Amino acid sequence: MAGGMPRAEYLLAYICGNVPAPPVSPDARLAAHSAAAAGGDPDGADRISGLSDALLRDIVSRLPFKEAARTSVLASRWRRVWLAAPLAVVDSDLVDDCPPEPADEADVTAAVSGALAAHPGPFRCAHLTSTRMGEHQPLLKRWLRILAAKGVQELVHVNRPCARQVVVPLPDTLFQITTLTSLYIGVWRLPHATRLKGVSFPRLRELGICSVLVEDGDIDSLVMRCPVLEILNIQGSTKRLHLVSQTLRCVQISSSVVENIALVKTPCLERLILWQVKGSPFPASDMRTRIKIGIAPKLRVLGYLDPAHHLLEIGGTRITVLLLPPIFHFVHLATVDFNVIILVECGELQAGMEPTGSAILTTVKVLSLEVCLGANGAMMVPAFLKCFPNVEALHIKSAKCDEPAGKFNIEYWQKVGPIISVLMRIKVMTISEFRGEQHELAFLQFVYQNAQVLESAVVTAANRRFTGISDEQMTSILQQLDSSRWASDFGLAIMGSNGPEGGIPWMFQRGANFSNDDPFAPVKMRSELLFFMTSSCLCRFYS
């Protein structure tokens, strides 16, 4: 948090974008405009007072909380209505900008305090993201006490970061809010797990921990105290994560340095989504995140696995690439023209070894990899794919190669040998951050040439502002692919990107939306949309 204001505010904006959207949207200007059309009739009857209290409460609940409170002065009945309407305190509703300008801060803080004190509850939700709580620690305790006493259900509480701020400890009063169904905390220090004794969140379904300083093992302990937790989202670093939960369905970790992630016993886990997860904050370090998949029999969606930064371990078998110094030359490596082999640690040392038995996860249907296809990480791609033989949708995020090695050409991929998922299962294949490099084209040609049941493919070009490649050039680069050898007649869409270099940061809402069975897909693959994309004619549409 020592990076100065712009950085701190950037972090806040990122966190605010990553927490659940508040239920009330303050589109007041827009509303005022449309309401003018349905304006009042000066001689008309008072129709709104003819509605029941329940309906009036419903209407008042939809207003930003300050406006909701102001309806109290309309008439005496409206005061009772407001007091009985479930309150949603969303502090960013009070100002045009989130985060607010420093000049508005005191008003925002006063309004939150006022609303929490004046309303008897229940509080449907509180989204508090605008106050630098480090400067208001007594207030912080009071707010949490009130929220606990009045039974808030959804709480988003982000401490607004300061430039020269020490980390603000979150009072353990937080642990007394047992009514929570959804909790997102940001930019705090978590109270130590010893303070958790006897605590539980019996209704908590969704937990988000963003840029929170935690002691090793504290998130694990917290998870164990949430008997119905389904979604766990973590942004920011934690040393290790050893998950045991009977109910977790989705775990997402974003922008994080983690040494060790273990799904120890997660019988209901469907999704493990990692975004920019590394083993060390230093780019030069070869410390990788160990991802250990233990008991996770329902794991269906997995990614973005990153061979350069992750070590994968499935059922006790480590899938790894061993970079051997040139002096090692095994006789039986004769067929491999480089000094790298796939090593299965518990098994025998064999070149091109197939992972078998416990090292295979048959449940994974949607897999994403972040990989530089022109560097040695590309060699892990076949090994990773072989671990997940039932993958139906493969999404590659192409990482930029500074010095691509020329060897990753189509001949290289032809020597990889058959990969069951590619040959027989993959229906959807996408590549994003595509730069039109030869090694990317070689990999695409390999997949298109072998995937017998491929139905749709998407190539999303990296933002042309960074690549300098125009749409037309990109299309002609892709036309170099030899479509006469493709294995199936699939739809191919070429898209562009307006996002930052390296792709748009992952948003938790995307991965936690269970109604979308493939959160990595850039577009919904719907057969009726594919009629205009055929492999014989390259079509473009830009997002």
Partner 1 sequence: MEVDKGKGEAEETRKVAEADRDTVTLKSSDGKLFEVSKEAAARLSTVLAGMIAGGSIDDNGTDLKQIGSEALENVVDYCNKHANSIPSAALISSSISFNTAPFKEPEEWERKFVDRLSHDALFDLVEAANFLGMERLLDVTCHKISEMMKGKSPDQIREVFNIKNDYTKEELEEIRQELAWAFYDD
Query: Per CB under 8 A, which of residues 88..117 are in contact with partner 1?
Result: 107, 110-111, 113-115
CB closer to partner 1 out of 28 and 424: 28
What minimum distance in Å lies between the beta carbon of 262 and partner 1? 28
Asked whether position 390 contacts partner 1 by CB under 8 A, the answer is no
Span of 34-42, 140-148, 383-391, 462-470 interacting with partner 1 by CB under 8 A? 34-42
Q: Considering only residues 201-240, where is the footprint of partner 1 by CB under 8 A?
A: 205-206
Instruction: Identify whether the C-beta of residue 276 lies closer than 8 Å to the C-beta of residue 303.
Output: no
Distance of CA 268 to the CA centre of its chain: 19
- CA torsion, ordered 424, 427, 430, 436, to nearest 10 deg: 60
CB closer to partner 1 out of 124 and 318: 124
State the residue for tokens 């794991």.
299
CB closer to partner 1 out of 29 and 197: 29
Total of chain residues touching partner 1, rule CB under 8 A: 75
* N-term to C-term CA, the chain: 34
Task: Give the amino acid at 144.
Answer: L
What minimum distance in Å lies between the beta carbon of 516 and partner 1? 5
Sign of CA dihedral 183, 184, 186, 192: positive
CA distance 238 to 257: 7
What minimum distance in Å lies between the beta carbon of 522 and partner 1? 8
What minimum distance in Å lies between the beta carbon of 420 and partner 1? 29
Helix (H) or strand (E) holding 81: helix 76-84
CA nearest 208: which of 263, 176, 254?
Answer: 254
CA distance 306 to 30: 44
CB closer to partner 1 out of 470 and 516: 516
CA distance 155 to 124: 9
Q: Considering only residues 325-354, where is the footprint of partner 1 by CB under 8 A?
A: none
CA distance 369 to 362: 17
What minimum distance in Å lies between the beta carbon of 208 and partner 1? 12
Residue 96 phi/psi, 5-degree rounding, is: -70, -35
- Token pair recorded at residue 82: 């407001």
CB closer to partner 1 out of 48 and 323: 48
Q: x/- site string to partner 1, residues 147 to 186, per CB under 8 A? A: ------xx--------------------------xx----
Strands 310-314 and 340-344, bridge-based pairing: unpaired
Helix (H) or strand (E) holding 310: strand 310-314
Rounded to 5°, angle at Cα 115 from 111 and 119? 170
CB closer to partner 1 out of 40 and 325: 40
CB closer to partner 1 out of 91 and 437: 91
Asked whether position 524 contacts partner 1 by CB under 8 A, the answer is yes
Asked whether position 44 contacts partner 1 by CB under 8 A, the answer is yes
- Token pair recorded at residue 470: 């125009």
Asked whether position 40 contacts partner 1 by CB under 8 A, the answer is yes
Work out which of 80, 523, 530, 535 binds partner 1, going by CB under 8 A: 523
What minimum distance in Å lies between the beta carbon of 123 and partner 1? 13
Q: Considering only residues 47-86, where is the footprint of partner 1 by CB under 8 A?
A: 47-52, 55, 58-64, 66-67, 69-76, 78-79
Span of 37-45, 140-148, 373-381, 402-410 interacting with partner 1 by CB under 8 A? 37-45
CA nearest 114: which of 97, 139, 84?
Answer: 139
CA nearest 60: which of 39, 32, 88?
Answer: 88
- Let me know how many helices (H) and strands (E) the chain has, helices first: 15, 21
List the beta bridge partners of residue 319: 312, 344
Work out which of 9, 14, 28, 363 binds partner 1, going by CB under 8 A: 28
With b for 16 or more beta-carbon neighbours within 10 A and e for fewer, the 232-244 pattern comes to bbbbbbbeebbbb
Work out which of 6, 39, 283, 326 binds partner 1, going by CB under 8 A: 39
CB closer to partner 1 out of 5 and 54: 54
Instruction: Identify whether the C-beta of residue 440 lies closer than 8 Å to the C-beta of residue 404.
Output: no
Span of 319-327, 368-376, 396-404, 509-517 interacting with partner 1 by CB under 8 A? 509-517
Work out which of 13, 31, 295, 322 binds partner 1, going by CB under 8 A: 31
- Token pair recorded at residue 135: 């400067």
Asked whether position 34 contacts partner 1 by CB under 8 A, the answer is yes
Asked whether position 504 contacts partner 1 by CB under 8 A, the answer is no
Asked whether position 527 contacts partner 1 by CB under 8 A, the answer is no
List the alpha helices (DSSP H) in 170-271: 218-224
CB closer to partner 1 out of 64 and 491: 64
What minimum distance in Å lies between the beta carbon of 11 and partner 1? 22
What minimum distance in Å lies between the beta carbon of 539 and partner 1? 15
What minimum distance in Å lies between the beta carbon of 205 and partner 1? 7
